[in-house]
Amino acid sequence: MHNLPRFSFAHLPTPIEAMPRLSARLPGKITLWVKRDDQTGLAFGGNKTRKLEFLVAEAVAQGAKRLVSAGAAQSNHCRQTAAAAARYGLACTLVLTGAPEERPSANLLLDQLFGAEIIWVADRAERDRVLRESVQHLEDAGERPYLVPYGGSSPTGAAGYFFAMQEFLAQENPATWIVFASSSGGTQAGLALGAKHFGFAGQVLGISIDEPADRLRAHVAELANQTAAQLGISTRLTPQEILVEDRFAAPGYGVFTELEREAITLFARNEGLLLDPVYTGRAAGGLLALIREGRFPTDTHVLFWHTGGTPGLFADRYAPHLLETV
């Protein structure tokens, strides 16, 4: 296995906790666990921290002086990228979809607190174009920008979740199902590759946030195989080996529905645990629905891999709706 450059700033291993009160409320005698990647330690934590350990190390190894990335206005990825840039003395440019806000809240507020420069664009198509142009412009100006891909989901970033699976196996938890939010695919690519490579006997199920299952499976398999090549291991995956449930993606990215609200409330009131309105609220809502319809055999141990995002609870667009039925 190759030694990829890696900085060490995540708080690892993240704890695994039981969720007995939530488990008792659900049918099927399921034992629920949670892996706390909402506690990775960088600027309120989240799954991008593990990816950034590899991405920022690669950027610095290449002599970069600035990180450039893109996302939604309330992107957790951009918040953690801005924090990592600040920590390593790099400048940071973020291309965000939306418009400047008079009183920025939550992740956007934190982006600015970390000193990131923000470029606003109208939609995803414009975002990709402006991202390319910004990198070109910075290169022309003699800066050395490092493009952190959307969601940190390059082979370099996904390596973070390959090693996260190794970490999980060393914790010797009895879970045979791992369920989590999947979107740009880096988390799932790393976990699925690690599961096969290190011999996890259970299933790794991504709840798609915003992609049709066939597209996400193909993308995750390709990304996993590129990650394997970069790591110098011979393990490979086909799209058929990637498990995705896309039923809960239908409302669209960032659309807050009763599914998310109920999941956030149940986790909060039974376990004192916080979920986020965009990713973990949707994934946990999907997990609850699957348990209620008997998708897992009786007595199964199921681990919810918490991917973070909790600052989103304080975003102006979500906070007012957390307590009301939508």
Ligand X SMILES: *Cc1c(COP(=O)(O)O)cnc(C)c1O
From the number of C-beta atoms within 10 Å of its C-beta (0-12, 13-18, 19+), residue 173 rates as middle
- Residues 59-118 contacting ligand X, CB under 6 A: 76-77
**What are 259's two structure tokens?**
């599914």
- Give min distance, CB of 187 to ligand X, in A: 3
Residue 181 is a binding residue for ligand X (CB under 6 A): yes
187 binds ligand X (CB under 6 A): yes
Q: Is 184 a catalytic residue?
A: no
Going by C-beta distance under 8 Å and a sequence separation of 6 or more, which residues neighbour residue 254?
72, 74, 277, 278
Amino acid (1-letter code) at residue 29 = K
Dihedral of CA 286/221/39/19: which sign?
Answer: positive
Query: In this complex, which beta carbon is closest to ligand X, that of residue 71 or of residue 138?
Result: 71
40 binds ligand X (CB under 6 A): no
Of 245 and 276, which has the nearer Cβ to ligand X? Answer: 276
Which of the following is catalytic: 8, 23, 69, 75? 75
Tokens of 22: 């939530």
Give the pair of three-digit tokens for residue 75. 């992107």
**Both tokens assigned to 106:** 């939550």
**At its nearest, how many Å lie between ligand X and the CB of residue 144?**
26
Q: Give me the DSSP letters along 198-267.
A: HT--SEEEEEESSS-HHHHHHHHHHHHHHHHHHHT------GGG-EEE-GGGTT-TT---HHHHHHHHHH
Give me the half-sphere count of Cα atoms (radius 13 Å) on the Cβ side of residue 144: 9
Bond prior to 13 in cis (omega within 30° of 0)? yes
Q: Which is nearer to ligand X, 42 or 138 (CB)?
A: 42
Nearest-angstrom CA–CA distance, 102 and 31 = 45
Letters for 280-299 (x = contact with ligand X by CB under 6 A, - = none) are x-------------------
Stretch that binds ligand X, among 184-192, 257-265, 294-302, 318-326 (CB under 6 A): 184-192
Measured at CB, which residue is nearest to ligand X? 309
Is residue 304 helix, strand or coil? strand
Q: Cβ closer to ligand X: 104 or 185? A: 185
Cβ proximity to ligand X, 138 vs 184, nearer residue: 184
> Does residue number 47 form part of the binding site for ligand X (CB under 6 A)?
yes
Q: Which residue among 185, 254, 281, 285 contacts ligand X (CB under 6 A)?
A: 185
* Binding of residue 39 to ligand X (CB under 6 A): no
Residues 141-180: x where in contact with ligand X by CB under 6 A, - otherwise, as a string:
----------x-x---------------------------
Q: Which of 149, 194, 277, 309 binds ligand X (CB under 6 A)?
A: 309
Chain residues that interact with ligand X, rule: CB under 6 A: 46-47, 76-77, 151, 153, 181-188, 276, 279-280, 307-309
Instruction: Give catalytic residue positions.
Output: 75
